[in-house]
Amino acid sequence: MKDELFNELAASIREGGKILQGKKKPSRTFVIKTPNVKKIRTGYKLSQNEFAALMGISVKTLQNWEQGRREPEGAARVLLQVAAKHPEVLWDVVQVKSTAA
């Protein structure tokens, strides 16, 4: 590793330590808002059972999210953001089977 790159990396590590210790403010922060799950679901005009099936989660999990007892995390949060901003993508990747004969 070149000395210049090593020195830059070492300075970055020292800066990170100061941030963790509260001695320095980070140069940027990221705020990820919790999606409004009920609003997303009602936008799809689906019941809780239908939306839970579409998302591949349990109805209980969906209810916990909608009632604020839990918050979606990780991949579920990202999928909800996609569902909110690009519903056509969700419909495109999830195969919906009709129960009507």
- What is the domain count for the chain? 2
Predicted TM-score (pTM) of this structure:
0.65
For residue range 38-94, what is the model confidence (pLDDT) as tens digits? 999 999 999 999 999 999 999 999 999 999 999 999 999 999 999 999 999 988 888
> Whole-angstrom Cα distance, residue 65 to residue 70?
5
How many helices (H) and strands (E) the chain has is answered by 6, 0
Report if residue 100 sits inside a domain.
no
Claim to verify: residue 20 and residue 53 sit in the same structural domain: no
Report if residue 22 sits inside a domain.
yes
Report if residue 99 sits inside a domain.
no
**Residue span of the structural domain in which 13 resides:** 1-28
Claim to verify: residue 63 and residue 19 sit in the same structural domain: no
Claim to verify: residue 44 and residue 22 sit in the same structural domain: no
Claim to verify: residue 77 and residue 49 sit in the same structural domain: yes
Checking if the pLDDT of 97 tops 60, the result is no
| Angle (nearest 5°) at CA 55 between 52 and 60 | 35
Handedness of CA 29, 65, 85, 90 (dihedral sign): positive
For residue range 14-38, what is the model confidence (pLDDT) as tens digits? 999 999 999 999 888 888 788 999 9
> Whole-angstrom Cα distance, residue 38 to residue 14?
43
Report if residue 49 sits inside a domain.
yes
Name the amino acid, one letter, at 94.
V
